[in-house]
Amino acid sequence: MDRVRDKVVLVTGAGSGIGRAAARLLAAEGATVIVTGVNRAGGLETVQQIAGPNSGGRARFAEQDTSREADWQRVIDDILAREGRLDGLVNNAGIAGPFPSTFESETLEQWRRILAVNVEGVFLGCKYGVPALRASGGGSIVNLSSLAAFLGTPDLAAYGASKGAVRQFTKTVAIDCARKSYKVRCNSVHPGVILTPMGEGILPSEKARERTRQRIPIGDFGAPDDIAWGILYLISDESRFVTGAELVIDGGMNAI
């Protein structure tokens, strides 16, 4: 119950799926969680699940579009003013776009929107999060990438490209912070096929779902909590010697 006791952690895109699971687990392990996202109703529901009368956790919601620089400035400034520190940042917010989307069929507008959220959002999170973490004595950033960062994704061209960028950028931030002795770690998490609202969107039928399940060596899909446990480890001090790493949580798919 105390793996991240008294830490203040910002989790973006926490109105559903992996973000919600991470926010709930971090709060259960003692953190104060700032839940953000464009999904206000979902974010408030996450906070209710954490901080409701029968839960006892600490959380609050802040509306945020992670692709907007002004939103990052506002949210980080507000955390420092209200909580007084920032110890962890989970850059989880992301979109997949329409499915299927090949590089020939995808529009430039769709491409730019996906990269704005998935890549620029992570860039802005690190740009404004690192100074706040450093001023708080150090901390940990977890960037949500994907198994798609390692594989070709012909049906999700922009999504795959965006997650590859997150994978590389994470290492850049990690090494830069380490060389400058910022005491800020930065790691990426790479989920496989996880049954979230976004994950289910790329499995349009029971036939497609079963075909995909058969490709997973462990024999089943992942759940949001499976990813949340990895995020918890990387935010906690248990991973104090881990930076620039890739935590793949995919049921074995990347090992094939």
> Would 236 be classed as within a structural domain?
yes
> Would 192 be classed as within a structural domain?
yes
Helix (H) or strand (E) holding 229: helix 224-235
d(CA 246, CA 127): 20
> Would 37 be classed as within a structural domain?
yes
User: Does residue 159 have an active-site annotation?
Assistant: yes
Residue 25's CATH number = 3.40.50.720
> Would 147 be classed as within a structural domain?
yes
> Which pTM was predicted?
0.95
First-to-final CA distance of the chain: 36
Q: Is the pLDDT of residue 201 over 70?
A: no
> Would 255 be classed as within a structural domain?
no
Task: Evaluate whether 192 touches 254 at the Cβ level (below 8 Å).
Answer: yes
Instruction: Write out the two tokens for 22.
Output: 């991470």
Q: Of the candidates 177, 179, 197, which has an alpha carbon nearest to the alpha carbon of residue 187?
A: 177
d(CA 126, CA 66): 11
> Would 140 be classed as within a structural domain?
yes
> Would 36 be classed as within a structural domain?
yes
* pLDDT band for position 208 (cuts 50, 70, 90): confident
> Would 22 be classed as within a structural domain?
yes
For residue range 116-150, what is the model confidence (pLDDT) as tens digits? 999 999 999 999 999 999 999 999 999 999 999 99
Q: What is the residue range of 78's domain?
A: 8-247
d(CA 50, CA 151): 36
The number of beta carbons lying within 10 Å of the beta carbon of residue 130 is 21
Q: What is the dihedral of CA 163, 245, 92, 112, to 10 degrees?
A: -20
pLDDT, position 55: 79
Please tell me which residue in 128, 159, 182, 233 is annotated as part of the active site: 159
Number of compact structural domains in the chain: 1
Instruction: Write out the two tokens for 68.
Output: 């907007």
For residue range 24-76, what is the model confidence (pLDDT) as tens digits? 999 999 999 999 999 999 999 999 999 988 778 999 999 999 999 999 999 99
* pLDDT band for position 209 (cuts 50, 70, 90): confident
